[in-house]
């Protein structure tokens, strides 16, 4: 089980790698047998190769601009985080901000499960 400090460090590594568009460093934080689910996925993605394909494809369309963790809580292997993200759609030069929550399971220093909760209706264009 991660300590609070270990969870904060892992989330900070994830945040920095995403903002730097360092996909290799970002993907190194995930377990090979991980699962990922978000509001746009009816079923979880299973396994790092499936998630890597999503991440690399998304990077072609989206440029990360900001990622702020508002709050973070640790309960055993689970880490709950509230965050706010700003991205730019590369083709349209449109910036979008939205807030959400994530539930992650961390084992042996890697993310094994990730589920995001956010509402597309709350996205702010600017």
| Per-residue pLDDT tens over the stretch 79-105 | 999 999 999 999 998 999 999 999 999
Residue 90 lies in a domain: yes
Q: How many CA atoms lie within 13 A of 23 on its CB side?
A: 14
Please report, for the domain that includes residue 51, its CATH number: 3.10.450.50
Count the domains in the chain: 1
| Owning domain of residue 99 | 4-121
In a domain, 51, yes or no: yes
Instruction: Please tell me the distance from the alpha carbon of residue 29 to that of residue 10, in angstroms, as a whole number.
Output: 8
Residue 108 included in any domain: yes
Residue 47: inside a domain, yes or no?
Answer: yes
> Considering the entire predicted model, what is its pTM?
0.91
Closest CA to 95 of 123, 73, 67, 116: 123
What is residue 76's three-state secondary structure? coil
Q: Does residue 55 lie in a domain region?
A: yes
Segments of the chain with pLDDT less than 50: none
Query: Of how many residues is the chain composed?
Result: 126
pLDDT value, residue 74: 95
Q: Residue 91: inside a domain, yes or no?
A: yes
- Residue 17 lies inside a defined structural domain of this protein: yes
User: Has residue 126 been placed in a domain?
Assistant: no
Q: What is the pLDDT of residue 57?
A: 96
Res 123: pLDDT: 75
């Amino acid at each position: 089980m991660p300590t609070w400090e270990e969870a904060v460090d892992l989330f900070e590594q994830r945040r920095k790698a995403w903002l730097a568009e360092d996909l290799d460093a970002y993907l190194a934080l995930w377990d090979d047998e991980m699962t990922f689910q978000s509001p746009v996925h009816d079923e979880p993605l299973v396994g790092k190769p499936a998630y890597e394909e999503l991440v690399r494809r998304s990077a072609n369309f989206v440029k990360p601009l900001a990622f702020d963790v508002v709050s973070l809580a640790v309960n055993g292997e689970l880490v709950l985080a509230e965050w706010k993200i700003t991205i730019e759609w590369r083709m349209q030069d449109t910036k979008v901000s939205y807030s959400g929550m994530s539930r992650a399971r961390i084992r042996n220093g890697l993310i094994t499960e990730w589920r995001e909760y956010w509402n597309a209706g709350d996205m702010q264009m600017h």
